Each structure stands twice: as structure tokens, then as C-alpha cells.
Amino acid sequence: MISGFTADRVECWAVEGVGEAHLGDDLGSMLRPALEAAGGLRPWDIVVVTHKIVSKAEGRVVPLEEVRPGAEARALAARVQADPRLVEVILGESRRVVRAGPGVLVTETRHGLVCANAGVDRSNVGGGEVVTCLPVDPDGSAARLRRAWLPLVGAGPLGVMICDTFGRPFREGGVNVAVGLAGLPGLSDHRGIVDPHGYTLRASTLASADEIAGLAELVMGKVAGRPVAVVRGLRWHGQGRGASELQREAGRDLFRQ
């Protein structure tokens, strides 16, 4: 393997007993007792954390009653049939609008992520009049959690992932993906490996971090109140460049062109 992940057996479980996060909470300390109660951490574990709990602790929560939509937001809201206040928040989180139509608003976030509503979400926040935004720096958020938990694994290796659920072009349904990474790569690059038939792989790069995020979502659930999961059994090479390495450059994206 050139880089990325290997495994013979993988385990994954949700961490129970995680309380509600609030502005200013030290998530590393707050989540540590629940991690220890769930069996603790070992070297090579990966802790997957939903962005929602991170966003709440970092103050990325917006009451819609405080939002005053501008002319652009009002016009776009009429086009997509959405709350103008929500659209104003989405535009504030976006570099540009990618697609817009009735019931659909896809934008490119300030992080470079292309997703519905710039990742702005009304679910699991305590009511439809409050929304959460993605963390300002998801990789930085993952790195802070990793530093807090490294002592639990004797300095590592340890991976931490911040995740969110995105839709995908040409496929129904959403899939959990990595929006922030620390201590592990996002990609498994098999290019240059010779397969059993003698063929040299030239384009085999896997979004392994997204695959791990999808696995974690199966045990965390959408409304079960389990925003943290542990994945065990993987080994990896290198620490990668954060979640940005999963984003395709605009010049290589035929769909964006």
C-alpha cells in the first residue's frame, strides 16, 4: 500500500451517556468520562464525533429570530421556497450558490465543501427556530479533541474525525462524511500497486475517511442522541492534510464545469 488504511477486522460502537453540549464547553474533558465508560481508548482507535455537538460547544448556533434577511436572501428564498432567515444564514456560510431550485439549495461553503444548505441544519438543535452551522475550522476542532485524548492512548496513534451527513450527485439518500480530520489521512492511495494479475493501478484512490464516517453513522443513528462513536481495528500510514484532501479541485471537477 502506498498510503492509507489496512485492516483484517474492524469494530465500531456508539458511546453512550454523552450529555448535551453548550457554548463554551470543553468537549475534550466533557466527553472523556463517556469514552472511559465505553471501554476507554487504545492506540489506533478512531473517535468519530458529529459536527452538531462541536458546533454547539463552539457557539455556531443561530436563533433565526435574530436574523434579518437581505434582498439577496429574500429573492433566493422565494426561488427555493424556504425561510428567508434560513437562506440568509446559508449565504453567510457560503462562497457561492452552486444549484438552486424548489426545495433545493446547494452551495460551496467557506471551507470548500459542496453540500445542501452550506451544512446549516435545524435538526437536533432544540427546535425549528434555531439552526447550527459547521465549525469554523473542523480540522482544528478535531485536532483539539485529539490533543485532549492522546494521554488515554499513551500518545497514540489516535485519529479523530468530525462528521456530517451529505447528499451525493446521482445517488438517493445521504451519507456520513468527514468534514474534519486529525491524526489520520482522508484517502487510501493505491496508485502504483500491482494487482494479482500484474496490472498496475493508476486511478485507485479511496475516500477511506468517508467510509469510516459512514460506518460510524450506522451505530450513532440520526435521532438516538449518540453523537460519538469509536472505530477500532484499522491501521494507517501518515496523518494526511486534514479533510481538505477529500475535496476535488475545481479544475478537475467536470460536474462543476
* pTM for this model (two decimals): 0.91
Please, are residues 163 and 216 in contact by the beta-carbon 8 Å criterion? yes
Q: How far apart are CA 113 and CA 95, in angstroms?
A: 10
How many structural domains compose the chain?
Answer: 2
Q: Which three cell numbers stand for residue 104?
A: 433545493
Do 28 and 68 lie in one domain? The reply is no
State which of 115, 130, 145 marks the end of a domain. Answer: 130
Query: Which pLDDT value is given to residue 100?
Result: 95
Query: Which pLDDT value is given to residue 126?
Result: 62
Residue reference for cell 427555493: 80
Do 45 and 154 lie in one domain? The reply is yes
pLDDT, mean of each 10-residue run, the chain (257 residues): 79 94 94 94 97 96 96 97 97 95 94 94 73 97 97 92 92 94 87 58 78 96 88 91 86 69
Whether 255 is in a domain gets the answer: no
- Looking only at the bridges linking them, the beta strands covering 45-50 and 228-232 are antiparallel
Query: Which pLDDT value is given to residue 1?
Result: 44
User: Is omega for the bond preceding 196 within 30 degrees of 0, making it cis?
Assistant: no
Q: How far apart are CA 122 and CA 125, in angstroms?
A: 6
Within a 10 A sphere around the Cβ of 231, how many other Cβ atoms?
Answer: 22
Query: Which pLDDT value is given to residue 94?
Result: 97
The residues that bridge with 205 in the sheet, in sequence order, are 189
Whether 124 is in a domain gets the answer: yes
Whether 85 is in a domain gets the answer: yes
Domain containing residue 53: CATH number: 3.30.1330.100
